């Protein structure tokens, strides 16, 4: 009969407890998770925003451009207008009729406008002075007339302008405002438009032509 031996049961190996994660590791993992969750869907892109707000970019189907020459039904030189992008890029810009409304170009136009305003003010001051001189200096035109003072011909705007030029007033028939030709001898008050909003009047004497027969 086999001899039985008493064997002590083997001791079970103690379970190794998992080390608890350190507080520092936990905080690091939490920070990564929070950063991933907080990441915006579309990050801010300054370059894209600048392009969207660029003055040459079409907005609402229209492009704002600066006119360099007058174009009928579009605008005058120096005006800011809105047109279709295709019309601007295919016609106005290539033909030199307009340019992009960039801040630099707008500054140039504003300086030009200020210069024009200064010139217009100086021009108006000269016209006001001229109006005063003309109003104080009558002119005379000789014309053939009968004994009753009726002219055989007439005195028109061209003749009045020529008389003014002979007195060193550089005016044209367009400056002379009369309703019709003058057909009698006498004293007339002739209205003149000198330019801008400056008007004046000149005294005109229409006198009979002096002839040798009349002198005798």
Query: How does DSSP assign the chain, residue by residue?
Result: -PPP---PPPPPPPPPPPPPPPHHHHHHHHHHHHHHHH--SS---HHHHHHHT-TTS-BTTBEEEEESS-BTTTB-TT-EEEE-HHHIIIIITTTTSEEE--HHHHHHHHHHHHHHHHHHHHHHHHHHHHHHHHHT--EEEEE-B-TTSEEEEEE-HHHHHHHHHHTT----GGGEE-SS-EEE-EEEEEEEEEETTEEEEEEEEEEEPP-HHHH-
Domain 55-101: CATH architecture, name and number where available: 3-Layer(aba) Sandwich (3.40)
Q: State phi, psi for 184 to the nearest 5 degrees.
A: -140, 155
Q: Answer whether residue 184 shows pLDDT above 80.
A: yes
99, 71 Cβ separation under 8 angstroms = no
Instruction: Pick the closest to residue 156 from 180, 191, 184 (CA basis).
Output: 180
Alpha-carbon distance of 162 to 168, in angstroms, equals 10
Average pLDDT over residues 78-98: 93
Domain with CATH 3.10.430.100 in the chain: 133-211
Model confidence band, residue 35 (pLDDT cutoffs 50, 70, 90): very low
Instruction: Quickly tell me which residue has 């992009």 as its tokens.
Output: 100
pLDDT above 80: residue 80: yes
pLDDT at residue 59 greater than cutoff 70:
no
Task: Give the pLDDT mean for 146-174.
Answer: 94
The CA angle 206-211-214, to the nearest 5 degrees, is: 95
Segments of the chain assigned to CATH 3.40.5.10: 55-101
Q: Which CATH homologous superfamily contains domain 133-211?
A: Ribosomal protein L9, C-terminal domain (3.10.430.100)
Which residues, at least 6 apart from 85, have a Cβ–Cβ distance to it below 8 Å? 58, 61, 62, 63
Task: Work out the pLDDT band at 109, boundaries 50, 70, 90.
Answer: confident
Mean of pLDDT values over 30-57: 49
> pTM of the entire structure?
0.57
């Amino acid at each position: 009969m086999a001899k039985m031996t008493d064997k002590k049961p083997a001791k079970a190996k103690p379970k190794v407890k998992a080390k608890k994660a350190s507080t520092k590791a936990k905080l690091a993992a939490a920070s990564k998770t929070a950063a991933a969750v907080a990441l915006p869907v579309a990050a801010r892109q300054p370059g894209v925003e600048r392009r969207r707000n660029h003055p040459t970019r079409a907005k609402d189907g229209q492009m704002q451009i600066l006119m360099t020459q007058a174009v009928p039904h579009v605008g005058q030189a120096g005006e800011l207008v809105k047109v279709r992008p295709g019309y601007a890029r295919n016609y106005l810009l290539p033909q030199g009729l307009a340019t992009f409304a960039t801040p630099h170009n707008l500054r140039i136009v504003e300086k030009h406008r200020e210069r024009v305003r200064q010139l217009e003010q100086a021009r108006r001051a000269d016209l006001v002075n001229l109006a005063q001189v003309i109003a104080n200096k009558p002119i005379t035109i000789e014309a053939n007339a009968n004994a009753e003072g009726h002219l055989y011909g007439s005195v028109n705007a061209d003749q009045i302008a020529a008389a003014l030029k002979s007195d060193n007033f550089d005016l044209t028939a367009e400056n002379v405002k009369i309703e019709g030709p003058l057909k009698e001898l006498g004293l007339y008050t002739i209205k003149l438009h000198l330019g801008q909003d400056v008007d004046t009047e000149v005294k005109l004497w229409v006198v009979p032509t002096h002839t040798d027969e009349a002198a005798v």
